[in-house]
Structure 1
Amino acid sequence: MHSSQFLNHLQYEKRCSKHTITAYTSDLNAFSFFLKETYEEEEPQNANFLQIRSWIVSLLENDFDGKSVNRKISCLKSFFSFLFKNNFIQENPMGKVISPKTTKKLPVFIEKANIESLLNTLEFEHDFKGSRACLILEMFYCTGIRLNELINIKISDIDFSRGNVKVLGKRNKERIIPLLSHLITLSEDFLSNWHLSPEESNFLFTNAKGGKISPRLVYNIVNAYLST
């Protein structure tokens, strides 16, 4: 309930952009998922400092780059500040949280881009290439997924009913990434309208011939839209 109030506050009072709302919704969903899975805690506003620190450590252990982690920390700082100012909680657990230093783990073409501004202004063609590019950019922005994880997503890795995707990261660590409803919708639209049948290719992202998309092609796709 408080999460919805916070997001409404950002949208209607703070006048935050659509993609800021999307990113913060994704971050809160990921945090809530972690609390339920790890501590059986249903309400994120009940989280304490140790639980928050545990989540941050798990993100770093799963090779999230510092920039992505800092955005998630900023989300929680805003969330708990909102709760504290409105007397929903008696103490702000984010007071002791220190943001990690940023690193350069993400590809340069993603790290240097103002993705939020980009997604607010871009128009995508309603065809295979346009729908694929839109889904790739939204995946990068909303989930913090790494390039190698993205190109290896199989259709069977996506749980459409639960709204998450299973990826295999560095050192073969499996992790579950929550997906926002609009990402599920984009994925379903892409699969139903433009993707080859599962018998021909089980990978979510393919080239025009149905083979698994290459890192270079993803680079070219993103770079082409950044240059517009």
Structure 2
Amino acid sequence: MGESKKKATRSGWNVSPSGISKDVHATRMHTLIDDFCEHLDLVVGRSAATIRGYRSDLYAMAEVVGDIDRFTLPKLREWLGIAVDEGRSRATLARRTASVKAFSSWAQKNGYLKVDEAARLVSPKINRELPKILGEQQAGDFVENAASSSEEEFLRDSAILELLYATGMRVAELCGIDLGDVDHDRQMVRILGKGNKERVVPFGDAARDSLAKWLDVRAAMAKEDSALFVGVRGKRINARQVRRIVDRAAKVSGVDHLSPHSLRHTAATHLLDGGADLRQVQELLGHSSMQTTQIYTHVSNKRLLEAFNKAHPRA
């Protein structure tokens, strides 16, 4: 078994969604869905979380459509219509449409369908809201407000908050960092991002100092040799634990509804506000498309307009 295949298995994307048993639903459609997910993993290099999402959507589709011989445009519209009747959000409908369109294209190219049946499906437009961000002073206060039950956890949580804000990395990326990925002298960290794409990003003095303090006490908590951050049981920390750390710090700081991803948005916006080039921010965040990064220019422009309206005497 190849390394990426092992990684996919450990990540759990090939585990059937809750309530769906492969033994019960051992149909040709489900076999094709599994093959498609393997293609996404081994050939396309999609992340385990993305593959789990595709697989969950496609298994739900199979419950309505049935076998591949009944995979037709009317049946797909029926499936999406059921989702509308159930009150599913536009974002969910858009994601399901994207999943089934990708599967349909793959199935047609591999000879399982004569026609790309889903090609004519229209995805609903999503009104993208500007991401929630913190001001510079707010961000500085926030990362210093780790709320933890022990000294070791406080130092770990402080290092996590500092590193998230310093690098703009995703939670899953932070959880995957090993001790050997951090170059303390150069203040750089190697990150494995979406699609197993590797990048190296810098971090500042505040994150460096917090990491050093955490590493001084890490041995008292760790039962795993390689992971940079560990949970209370000594194993590699997971995304749910990191979200709790961020949530506790948000409550102490008086910030409502702040997620780890908000720190990513905040880091990107502050970099642009400070004069960083959009291409540099794209590389730092690990975005494959410049279009994804451009949303932060709208945030910066909005903040600039607000500052102008408050400060300029002729505004």
**Bin of the TM-score, shorter chain as denominator length:** 0.3 to 0.5
TM-score w.r.t. the length of structure 1 is 0.47
The structure whose RCO (Cα within 8 Å, separation 6+) is larger is 1
